[in-house]
Amino acid sequence: MLARLPKNLPGGVSLILPFLFICFSFSPVLSQGIEAEVDTLDPAVPDSELVVAAPVTSLIASDYKYDNGEVIELSWVPSIDDQLVGGNVIGYSLYRSENDGEPTLIAELLPGVNNYTDEGLSRLSTYRYTILTLTVNHETPSTMTAPITPEREWINFDKKYLFLIALIIGGSVMFFIETARRGKKLFVRKIAGLEAVDDAVGRATEMGRPILFIPGILDMDDVQTLAGLTILGRISRIIADYDTKIFMPVSRSLVMTAGRETIKAAYQAAGRPEKYSDDMVSYVTDEQFGYVAAVDGIMVREKPATVFLLGAFFAESLILAETGNYIGAIQIAGTARPAQLPFFIAACDFTLIGEELFAASAYLSDEPKALGSLKGQDVGKALAMVIIVVGVLAITIGQAWHVDFMMSLVDTLTNIFSTK
């Protein structure tokens, strides 16, 4: 049987007991007890041929900080016989006992390993751990850890700086939104791709040809799709005013629903609800290249004058953009996927690069509040730029001339911006 420790002991006893426990657990009696429990010894091997390794030492189980009480971290010093050259340890077996029950094997570890994170535990149970050091024909148990119960923390203080910086930037966005709401005029520079939206819609109207809007191939759970839809909202207003034909083939059913709501709202706002039709948005298929095959077909058959490619795109970006180019459409594209941006730049007339995609709807909006959010975004950029300049200079000077102050500044910055 495993040695059991009483749960509530007077202070002095609780200090002595672990010591006694450690000494005792090294005794052959207890070792045999554990070995018998986990059925480790091979009786067919004579004692003289046994390859015996020293046990792992300093096995410590500690509660993982800032979780929901489901994780315990274990660390230990590997067996002194765990050596690359001349060692005889072939691995470790980690056993866990729940509520002083029978120990069960939870992991088999390679030589050299000195820590383990035990996940998926219950904060209503207590746990104890032991490790068997394995040789080719023998297993040496370590001491058993003291009982431990994983604890739940309500606030993750590891993320305090993330919270703080997010608060500063989120606060700036709110501040500028509020400033704009109070009527203060905010300056935002011209963004070429967005300045071209009016002309692009006007061109389609003049030519009597439709506009094709492609919101990417991801669903509503991607923020780029949401960005594409918010821009669709602004473009639809212009389209409704000009009474231009729009067609939006989509690869996700939810995007179809949201797209219809968006366009319908624009027609309603323009006072032309009768001009709206559900046929403006239609579902094709969830399959990436099946969707591309269909959209390519639509492009060459319907010959839209303007193509908007705004959302999340993958390999299909170039196929779509080149086909649009081939039919002579004006193309305005935007995505936050850096790998696809070069293809849009090569094949489209205007490209919204990353951040510009998210800023577009605010830029096109006639609502000052939306514009205010862009200012808040700039505060974040300014902060990033200052930190980069200060950080790079501090670490360069600090290391070159061994300036402790600079190095502690770097440590602070690195600590603040590290994300666990």
Partner 1 sequence: MEHFALWLAAFLTLGIVSFLYKDNPWYKLCEAIFVGLSAGYWFVVLFWDNIYGKFWVGVFPLEEFDEAGREITAEPDYWLFVGAALGILMLMRLVPNIGWISRWPLAFIVGSTAGLYLINYFSSNMMRQVQGTIVPLFGAGYDASAYAIVGNIVVAVGTFAGLVYFFFSKEHRGVFGGTAKVGVFFLMLTFGASFGYTVMSRMSLLIGRMDFLLGDWLGMIK
Partner 2 sequence: MRRQIPLFITFFVGTLLIFSVFIPPMETWGEDFTLFFDIIAVFAFFLGGGNLMRVHFNKLTRRKQDWTYSIVTLAGFFFMLVLGLLKIGNPGGIAASVTAEGSWFQTMFNDVLNPLQSTMYALLAFFVASASYRAFRAKNREATILLVAAFIILLGRTPFGMYLTAWVPESFSVLQIPNLAIWIMNSPNLAGQRAIIIGIGLGVVSMSMRLILGIERTYLGDDSG
Which residues of this protein are in contact with partner 1, per CB under 8 A?
Answer: 162, 165-166, 169, 186-189, 191, 220-223, 226, 254, 257-258, 261, 283-287, 289-290, 293-294, 296-297, 300-301, 338-339, 341-343, 345-346, 353-356, 359, 374-375, 377-378, 380-381, 384-385, 387-389, 391-392, 395-396, 398-400, 410, 413-414, 417-419
The nearest distance, CB 111 to partner 1, in angstroms, is 25
- Residues between 86 and 145 with contacts to partner 2, criterion CB under 8 A: none
Nearest CA-CA partner of 196 in 45, 340, 301, 331: 331
> Containing H/E element for 93?
strand 91-98
Q: Are strands 115-118 and 127-134 parallel, antiparallel or unpaired?
A: unpaired
Subset of 173-192 contacting partner 2 (CB under 8 A)? 173-174, 177
* Smallest separation, CB 9 to partner 1 (Å): 32
**SS3 state of residue 115:** strand
The residue from 38, 121, 148, 359 that contacts partner 2 (CB under 8 A) is 359
Q: Does 369 bind partner 2 (CB under 8 A)?
A: yes
269 counts as binding partner 2 under rule CB under 8 A: yes
Closer to partner 1 by CB, 53 or 258: give it.
Answer: 258
> Please, which of residues 298-357 interact with partner 2 by CB under 8 A?
315, 318-319, 321-322, 325, 336, 338, 341-343, 345-347, 353-357
The number of angstroms, rounded, from the C-alpha of 367 to the middle of its chain's C-alpha atoms is 32
Rounded Cα distance between 2 and 144, Å, is 9
Binding footprint of partner 2, residue count (CB under 8 A): 89
With CB under 5 to 8 Å by kind, the binding choice for 410 among partner 1, partner 2, none is partner 1
d(CA 288, CA 279): 21
When the beta carbons of 197 and 292 are compared against partner 2, the nearer one is: 292
Q: At what angle do helices 160-181 and 368-400 cross, to 10 degrees?
A: 140
DSSP line for 24-87 = HHTSHHHHHHHHHHHT---TTS-GGG----PPPEEEEEEEPSSSBS--EEEEEEPPTT--TTT-
Residue 111 or 376 with smaller CB distance to partner 1: 376
Q: Which two tokens stand for residue 142?
A: 């370590």
Report what 156 binds from partner 1, partner 2, none; CB cut-off 5-8 Å by kind: partner 2
Q: Shortest gap between Cβ of 414 and partner 1 (angstroms)?
A: 6
- Contacted by 414, from partner 2, partner 1, none: CB < 5 to 8 Å by type: partner 1
| Residue 165 binds: one of partner 2, partner 1, none (C-beta under 5 to 8 A by kind) | partner 1
Angstrom distance (rounded) from CA 73 to CA 322: 54
Residues 6+ apart with CB under 8 A from 233: 262, 265, 266, 361
Chosen from partner 1, partner 2, none, partner binding at 222 (C-beta under 5 to 8 Å by type)? partner 1
Pairing mode, strands 330-335 and 306-312 = parallel
Quote the CA–CA distance of 72 and 60 in Å, as a whole number: 10
Interatomic CA distance for residues 203 and 239, integer angstroms: 11
Find the binder of partner 2 among 38, 53, 191, 232 (CB under 8 A). 232
Q: How far apart are CA 2 and CA 30, in angstroms?
A: 7
Only one of the segments 29-37, 101-109, 169-177, 190-198 lies at the binding site for partner 2 (rule: CB under 8 A); that segment is 169-177
Residue from 19, 154, 187, 401 binding partner 2 (CB under 8 A): 154
Nearest approach, Cβ of 323 to partner 1 (angstroms)?
A: 9
Who's near 389: CB < 8 A, 6+ residues apart?
none
Report in angstroms the alpha-carbon separations of 190 from 194, 360, 376.
Answer: 8, 11, 17
Q: Which is nearer to partner 1, 7 or 189 (CB)?
A: 189
Residue 7 interaction partner, one of partner 1, partner 2, none, beta carbon < 5-8 Å per kind:
none
Closest separation in Å from C-beta 389 to partner 2: 14
Within 10 angstroms of residue 263's Cβ, the number of other Cβ atoms is 26
Which of 15, 23, 159, 389 is the binder for partner 2 (CB under 8 A)? Answer: 159
Give residues with Cβ within 8 angstroms of 315, minimum separation 6. 288
100 or 241, CB closer to partner 1? 100
How far apart are CB 366 and partner 2 at their closest, in Å? 12
**Edge-to-edge order in the sheet of strand 57-63:** 57-63, 72-77, 115-118
**Among partner 1, partner 2, none, partner that 126 touches (CB below 5 to 8 angstroms by kind):** none
